[in-house]
Structure formats: structure tokens, C-alpha cells
């Protein structure tokens, strides 16, 4: 991540599921007798149940640089973040930091164990190799000494072994956090060629878990393609990681062609207005539908702009993330769909096992009477969960199916998730 001020940027800085997201808040009115204003707009979309897209690995947050008594999480907060019930966010991925300092390691170990106990997967990112392995003998700035490649690969592997031996096996380790960025805090710069050569020559030494790279600050396709174009380097890379502080939300076609999952492993927005929070929903939607990412990980789990605030209570952004994370679980498959007849209502659909989930975002201020048709599968009934400026993942009445379709009125500027029963 980019930390404007080192460790404290964060202080500044399987059913089928249908999810519907809207960007304005008005009274709720729908064909399922929820009451509210009479809709003046209508739309229609067809969910293509036989058109499988990417597998979704899940949603997560980070606890990196979380010193004791400052932002470490207590059990109740882990429950809120990683539980999938009412009033919980539904995350299943945790990002921790690889640190050589024993105190930091102990803190992150406790975080990892707590998340794993709640069914989450944990992956770890280093902000810098140990100072002894760097050209400037410092964890801030500098580069990896060319002859230290093998030692660094063993260092990453040893961290994975340490975590596993202490009851917290890692799903993956990353080579470097934001190698394309040289801030004045813990960091290390890698060119695309250097990252490619490390993966090609030393990647096979990381045997205790999967290997992720490059976790760029910007979603830089040229950098990633330099790695993936080398067959030997690509063979040692399991997950392509990227951040979204630049480069746009776009698909890496080469990663897709080579069968590599792409995870968005960090982004944040310190703006907490309702519009900014809804923009997070739009971002998640585009990460899955435009870029075909497999996972979405927010920055800090506990911050005023995160899923839970400094008081440990779920924020509006947390409820919006929950519209996806509570209902689209690990292993869900995104389904294809026709273009919605209204471009200001964004729709994505998923299948968890045999159940479907639909998520929709209404970008306009006016309620939309949205018809959802299912092709290639039979569906039963659905229950809506709605977040507006005044509601937080509020459960609605059951929606009956007629001719393998139903109509639901989506309030303006809101997000709704429709879950098959």
C-alpha cells in the first residue's frame, strides 16, 4: 500500500446469489409489497446460468502494522468482520505482514489464528526484505542485493513454516508489497525484470505455501506481463496480486490465458460520505465484472473508513461490503448476463453450489422496477437484503418466482442482494 506517513497511512488514509446495487437512497417500493414510492423507471436483465465466468475466492481486509493496544482486534471484532450472520461483514480473507521483528510476528500470528478459527484464509505480504539483504542495509528504500535472491526466498518460506508450526498455515506469501513505489517507510524497489528473474530463479524455493506477486501500487499490465511472458517465472507464480491506486480496473488477459488468479489485495478511501461508500460497491462490481478478479481485499479492517470503525462497530462501508461478502462465498462462480436495459443499474450474478445470488447497484436517484429473468436454470424464491443511506443490509420479504423470473423495485442510490432460498 501507499502510506503517506509510514505506518499510519491507514489513520489518514453453494447457492447462486444475485446482487443488486444502487447509488441513491429513496423509499423502498417493489412488486413484493415493500411499500414506498411508485417506480417511474423499469429495466430488464437475463441471468445466463450456463455461462460460467471466474471463481470467486472471497473478500478480505488487512491487519498489517497493527501494534498492540492501537488497532489489534478483539474477539468480538473478529466475529463482526469474519462472521456471515446478521450484523456481520462476511469476510473470509485476511492479509498480514511478514516482519522480522518478533513482537510484530506474534501480533500477526494472533490475528491469523483468530481469522482461521472463523474459517478465513490468511496470506502474508512483506514490506521489505531484512536489511542485511538490501543494497542500503536498511528496511526503508533500497533494493534486494542480487546475490541475496536465494536467501530471501528461504526467508519467505521460513515465515510460512513459522506460521504453520504455530497453528496458522498461510494460503500464500507475497514477494513484495508495492515494488513499483519508493516511499519514506519500509519498502523495497523491484523492476519488472528483477521480479521476473527472482520468480524464475528462486521461486521454486518457496515450497511451504503458494507464491503471490507483484502486488503493484498501480494495476500496471506491462509490469505483470513481463513476468507472465516468461514461462519459467510464470510456472512459479500462483496468484497475481495488484492494488488499485492507479492503472484502472482492467483485466489482465495474459493472466487469464495462463490460468492465473488475480487478486485485488489492497485499496482504501478515507472519504466516508454515503456516496463514497457506494462507490466502493461500484468498485467491487467492476473488479469482478470488468477485470474478472478472483478476490477483493480492503485495506485496514478496523479504521474509521474501514468495515468496522475505531469503536468496533460496523460502518456503512462495512454493510455495503457485506452485501457481497456475506452471500458470495469462497468457490462461488460468477455468471454471465445480458446487458441490463438500464445502464445506470449495475447487476452481477453468482452461483454458490446450486443457489444463485444477484447483486444490483442503482446509480440513479429514482427507483427502478427491475425484472430479472433466469435462463438455463430453474430458480425458487429469493430474499432481498437492502442497504440505503438509512438501512443496513435490511432483510425484506420473500419474493416469489413466476415464469422463472421476478421483479423487484430497487430504491435509488442503494444496493440490494437477492439470495435464492
Question: Which stretches does DSSP call E strand in 158-309?
Answer: 172-174, 210-216, 239-243, 261-266, 295-300
Alpha-carbon span 48 to 338, nearest angstrom? 7
The burial of 411, by beta-carbon neighbours within 10 Å (0-12 exposed, 13-18 middle, 19 or more buried), is given as buried
182 noted as active-site residue: no
187 upstream amide cis, omega within 30 of 0: no
Distance in angstroms (rounded) separating the CA atoms of residues 68 and 322: 27
The grid coordinates listed for 105 are 510476528
Residue 248: count of CB within 10 angstroms of its CB:
11
d(CA 345, CA 285): 11
**Which of 267, 180, 285, 172 lies closest to 222 in space, CA to CA?**
180
- Grouping H, G, I as helix, E, B as strand and the rest as coil, residue 404 is coil
- Dist. CA 152–CA 175, nearest whole Å: 9
DSSP state for residue 314 in the 8-state scheme: B
Angstrom distance (rounded) from CA 404 to CA 261: 33
| Percent of residues in the chain assigned helix, strand, coil, to nearest 5 | 25, 30, 45
Phi/psi of residue 210, nearest 5 degrees: -75, 160
- Known catalytic residue at 77: no
- Measured distance CA(387)–CA(15) in Å, rounded: 21
| Rg of the Cα atoms in the chain | 22
* DSSP code, position 203: G
Which is the catalytic residue, given 108, 186, 215, 266?
Answer: 266
The catalytic position among 178, 186, 215, 420 is 178
Place of cell 430488464: 44
Which residues are the active-site residues?
178, 266
Amino acid at each position: 500500500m501507499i502510506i503517506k506517513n509510514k505506518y499510519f497511512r491507514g489513520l489518514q488514509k453453494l447457492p447462486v446469489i444475485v446482487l443488486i446495487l444502487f447509488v441513491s437512497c429513496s423509499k423502498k417500493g417493489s412488486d413484493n409489497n415493500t411499500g414506498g414510492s411508485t417506480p417511474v423507471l423499469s429495466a430488464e436483465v437475463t441471468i445466463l446460468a450456463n455461462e460460467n465466468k471466474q471463481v470467486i475466492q472471497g473478500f478480505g481486509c488487512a491487519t498489517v502494522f497493527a501494534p498492540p493496544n492501537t488497532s489489534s482486534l478483539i474477539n468480538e471484532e473478529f466475529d463482526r468482520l469474519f462472521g456471515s450472520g446478521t450484523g456481520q461483514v462476511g469476510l473470509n480473507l485476511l492479509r498480514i505482514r511478514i516482519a522480522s521483528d518478533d513482537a510484530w510476528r506474534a501480533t500477526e500470528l494472533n490475528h491469523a489464528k483468530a481469522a482461521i478459527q472463523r474459517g478465513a484464509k490468511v496470506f502474508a505480504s512483506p514490506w521489505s526484505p531484512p536489511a542485511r539483504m538490501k543494497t542500503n542495509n536498511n528496511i526503508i528504500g533500497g533494493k534486494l542485493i542480487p546475490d541475496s535472491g536465494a536467501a530471501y526466498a528461504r526467508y519467505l518460506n521460513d515465515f510460512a513454516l513459522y506460521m504453520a508450526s504455530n497453528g496458522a498455515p498461510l494460503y500464500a506469501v507475497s514477494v513484495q508489497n508495492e515494488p513499483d513505489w519508493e516511499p519514506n517507510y519500509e519498502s523495497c524497489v523491484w523492476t519488472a525484470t528483477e521480479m521476473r528473474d527472482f520468480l524464475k530463479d528462486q521461486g521454486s524455493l518457496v515450497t511451504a505455501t503458494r507464491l503471490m506477486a507483484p502486488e503493484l501500487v498501480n494495476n500496471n499490465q506491462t509490469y505483470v506481463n513481463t513476468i507472465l511472458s516468461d514461462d519459467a517465472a510464470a510456472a512459479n507464480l500462483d496468484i497475481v496480486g495488484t492494488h488499485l491506486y492507479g492503472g484502472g480496473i482492467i483485466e489482465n488477459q495474459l493472466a487469464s490465458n495462463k490460468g492465473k488468479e488475480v487478486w485485488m489485495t489492497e485499496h482504501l478511501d478515507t472519504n466516508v460520505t454515503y456516496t463514497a461508500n457506494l462507490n466502493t460497491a461500484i468498485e467491487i462490481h467492476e473488479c469482478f465484472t470488468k477485470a474478472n478478479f478472483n478476490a477483493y481485499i480492503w485495506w485496514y479492517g478496523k479504521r474509521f473508513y474501514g468495515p468496522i470503525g475505531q469503536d468496533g462497530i460496523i460502518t456503512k462501508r462495512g454493510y455495503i461490503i457485506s452485501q457481497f461478502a456475506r452471500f458470495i462465498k469462497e468457490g462461488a462462480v460468477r455468471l454471465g448476463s445480458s446487458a441490463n436495459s438500464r445502464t445506470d443499474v449495475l447487476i452481477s450474478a453468482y452461483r454458490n453450489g446450486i443457489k444463485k445470488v444477484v447483486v444490483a447497484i442503482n446509480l440513479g436517484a429514482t427507483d427502478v422496477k427491475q425484472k430479472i429473468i433466469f435462463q438455463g436454470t430453474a430458480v425458487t424464491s429469493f430474499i432481498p437484503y437492502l442497504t440505503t443511506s438509512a438501512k443496513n443490509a435490511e432483510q425484506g420479504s420473500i419474493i416469489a418466482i413466476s415464469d422463472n423470473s421476478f421483479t423487484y423495485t430497487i430504491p435509488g442510490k442503494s444496493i440490494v442482494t437477492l439470495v435464492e432460498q
